[in-house]
Amino acid sequence: MQLNFVFSNLPSEGILILFCGEGETLSDFAQTIDAATNGQLTRAITAEQFKGKKHDQLILTAPAELSLKRIVLLGLGDRNEFDALGAQKLGGKIIVTLQSLDDSSATISTDGLNNCPSTSAELTANLVLGAQLRDYRFDKYHTKPREGKPGRLNALTVLCDDPQQIEDACAPLQSLADSVCQVRDWVSEPGNILHPESYADQLNEFTKDGVEVEILDEASMEALGMGALLSVGRGSARQSKLVVMRWQGDTADQPPIAFVGKGVTFDSGGISIKPAAGMQDMKYDMAGSATVAGLIQSLAKRKAAVNVVGVVGLVENMPSNNASRPGDIVTSMSGQTIEIINTDAEGRLVLADALWYTQATFKPRCIVDIATLTGGIVTSLAHEMAGIFSNNDTLAEQLIAAGTTAGEPVWRLPLTKIYDRLVDSDIADMKNHAGIPASSITAAQFLQRFVNEVPWIHIDIVGTVWRKEDGDLAEKGASGYGVRLLDQFVRDIYGQEVRK
């Protein structure tokens, strides 16, 4: 989508979008248009009883005096409650409206966004973000246009008093929008295209944006003793990889915030094979790793003054004569042994070594891991929130707050000794599967055994990474969940400084 920022002038073609708060009179710019058309706009407002309630819309064919095609008036609801998240949703709404009109470009006037608690620059930037996210579509494998599916937006022109200021406000959110869309691409790619080797190659490209990328192959992981992670990829024809992405935007002496992601590019379940129905969904079992990669990319692109390291374990979980068997015992990098009860509880095996490696190598100030770890989290929280688990109350509060701000809420679930003992094994230090009751919690307890004292949060995102229906900010499909959450979390910890 091409973005243009121009000084407020009456556009000569296409669709013009105006905003109006609930129960308010028209903004100055809208009044000019009304005056230029002998009051057609106010007549339509009266005739259609447009009140400016949130997402109310009035669509009119532009009066003959104007060379425009249409004017669309959109309601903000109560201006005092119209905030950044409201602006994102409004941006999404604009896309849905344009799709219904089968139009591929529009001009929006930001004049109607003045006098809200946030600046119109911030609101506009968020509106553009929402529009870009809602406009996204993964259509690269459609070789023919689809009947009844409107095209995507080609161009959005933003009319404002100070184009440079608005453009500057949009820039950091632009890198965020791009990364969310990149994450959706990765998550949508099928397992035959995105596998550990091809995925690692793509992440290696981050070096272009100033990210230090290191890729550990199976031999290096073997040398480090990563028997847990390696056991998962053993049945696959693809080589497992551990990809380390470092963004050093702050001074070298500052320990990084570490993010660890589960990157199972396809989870067949292995020898404990999953049922056929729905197995195709297991291509998105790498969503946690995609979120981590997307976050690093977004921070690098906006040159954030932060030190962050992302570590992703990329593996494919397949059955074969080389695959792990139920009952196998493996030794993790930490030295702790694990009895594999169920080869489908593979994510925690990948994370165990990735977490241990991360804390030992980078001495981070905290670690956040993110993973499509358990179906149980959907039982707990449905598709509305991700579940979090933490050994540190302050950190958990920070992530919860970031989730609220970013519009990607999380809910904390327990970690305690009572659940920890459920992970004990009769024959090894622990087992990878403690049964279905509280499976999300026992999975988190398992992970906790690989983080020592470092402040740590585990985020289980099975419920939130894939939408079955269209939403405000995403079509059905990959949601790109987590990038905005983690970006906000990093912003909150570091403040807003951006190194130019």
What residues line the site for Zn ion (CB under 5 A)? 264, 267, 285, 347
The interface with ligand BES within residues 356-415 (CB under 6 A) comprises 372, 374-376
Q: Are strands 212-216 and 241-248 parallel, antiparallel or unpaired?
A: antiparallel
Judged by CB, which is closer to ligand BES: 119, or 342? Answer: 342
Q: Which of 51, 54, 274, 412 is catalytic?
A: 274
Shortest spacing between CB 471 and ligand BES, in angstroms = 18
User: Any alpha helices (H) in 363-409, and if so which ranges?
Assistant: 376-381, 393-406
Q: In the set 241, 433, 458, 491, which binds ligand BES (CB under 6 A)?
A: 433
Q: Is 281 in the site for ligand BES (CB under 6 A)?
A: yes
Phi, psi of 485 (to 5 degrees): -60, -50
Residue 89 known to be catalytic? no
Report in angstroms how near the CB of residue 285 gets to ligand BES at its nearest: 4
DSSP of 82-117, one letter per residue?
A: --HHHHHHHHHHHHHHHHHTT--EEEEEGGGGTTSS
Could you tell me which of 127, 241, 136, 211 has the C-alpha nearest to residue 180?
Answer: 136
Tokens, residue 480: 């790109």
383 near 474, Cβ under 8 Å?
A: no
Least separation in angstroms between CB 487 and Mn ion: 28
Residues 340-369 as x/- pattern, contact with Mn ion by CB under 5 A: ----x-x-----------------------
Q: Does residue 460 touch ligand BES according to CB under 6 A?
A: no
CB atoms within 10 A of CB 117: 12
Nearest to 226 by CA among 321, 322, 314: 314
Binding partner of residue 339 among ligand BES, Zn ion, Mn ion, none, CB cut-off 5 to 8 Å per kind: none
Taking CB under 6 A as the criterion, the residue among 267, 353, 408, 475 binding ligand BES is 267
Q: Is 241 helix (H, G, I), strand (E, B) or coil?
A: strand
Q: Choosing among Mn ion, Zn ion, ligand BES, none, which partner's interface includes residue 24 (Cβ < 5 to 8 Å by kind)?
A: none
Q: Is 158 helix (H, G, I), strand (E, B) or coil?
A: strand
Token pair belonging to 428 = 């090894």
- Interior/surface letters 449-460, b for 16+ CB within 10 angstroms, e for the rest: bbbeebbbbbbb
- Residue 449 binding: pick among Zn ion, Mn ion, ligand BES, none (C-beta 5-8 Å cut-off by kind): none
Strands, E assignment, 11-163: 15-20, 57-61, 70-75, 105-109, 155-160
Residue 460 binding Mn ion, by CB under 5 A: no
Assign 226 to helix, strand or coil: coil
The active-site residue out of 241, 262, 348, 484 is 348
Q: Please report, as residue ranges, which positions from 266 to 305 form the binding site for Mn ion (by CB under 5 A).
A: 267
> From CA 400, how far away is CA 411, in angstroms rounded?
7
Tell me, by CB under 6 A, how many residues bind ligand BES.
15
Q: From the list Zn ion, Mn ion, ligand BES, none, which binds 379 (C-beta under 5 to 8 Å, kind-based)?
A: none
Q: Which of 212, 395, 390 is nearest to 309 (CA)?
A: 212
> Should residue 235 be labelled a site residue for ligand BES when binding is judged by CB under 6 A?
no
Q: Answer yes or no whether residue 283 interacts with ligand BES by CB under 6 A.
A: no
Of 280 and 452, nearer to ligand BES (C-beta) is 280
Q: How far is the CB of 436 from ligand BES (least distance, A)?
A: 7
Q: Is 325 a catalytic residue?
A: no
Range in contact with ligand BES (rule: CB under 6 A) among 192-200, 230-238, 239-247, 341-349: 341-349
Residue length of the chain: 500
Q: Which is nearer to Mn ion, 122 or 267 (CB)?
A: 267
d(CA 485, CA 60): 38
- 339 binding Mn ion? (CB under 5 A): no
CB of 435 to Zn ion, least distance (A): 17
Q: Taking the complex as a whole, how short is the minimal distance between the CB of residue 277 and ligand BES, in angstroms?
A: 12
| Interatomic CA distance for residues 202 and 200, integer angstroms | 5
Neighbours of 123 (CB within 10 A): 26
Cα separation, 114 vs 121, in Å, equals 9
Among 121, 118, 106, residue whose Cα is nearest residue 79: 118
Q: Which is nearer to Zn ion, 189 or 285 (CB)?
A: 285
> In 10 A of CB 80, how many CB atoms?
10
Query: Which residues of the shown chain bind Mn ion in the complex (CB under 5 A)?
Result: 267, 344, 346
Which residues make up the interface to ligand BES (CB under 6 A)?
267, 281, 285, 342, 344-347, 372, 374-376, 433, 439, 462
Residues annotated catalytic, as ranges: 274, 348
